Amino acid sequence: MTKIVADLDRCVGAGQCVLTDPEEFDQSEEDGTVVVLQDTPADDEALKRARVAVEICPSRALSLTE
């Protein structure tokens, strides 16, 4: 099972993940860092969107683990 992992120490709050996949990601109202809403993508389409979010994250704060 693939899981989405966020490194909040690396996150700069750019919000690209939220723009890419608002069903999986949000931003903290306190500091703008990523909030993972669902750490396990529900289906193949959700996994594809999560992969794109990981790839475009400017601070490389997101990753996928098996």
Looking at residue 39, its pLDDT comes to 95
Q: Model-level pTM?
A: 0.92
Looking at residue 30, its pLDDT comes to 95
Looking at residue 45, its pLDDT comes to 96
65, 2 contact by CB (below 8 A): yes
Give the distance from CA 25 to its chain's centroid: 5
Looking at residue 47, its pLDDT comes to 96
Query: What tokens does 14 get?
Result: 């750019």
Angle subtended at Cα 19 by Cα 16 and Cα 23, rounded to the nearest 5 degrees? 120
Residues in the chain: 66
Residue type, 28: S
Helix %, strand %, coil % for the chain, to 5?
Answer: 25, 20, 50
Summarised one tens digit per residue, pLDDT across range 15-59 is 999 999 999 999 999 999 999 999 999 999 999 999 999 999 999
Looking at residue 12, its pLDDT comes to 97
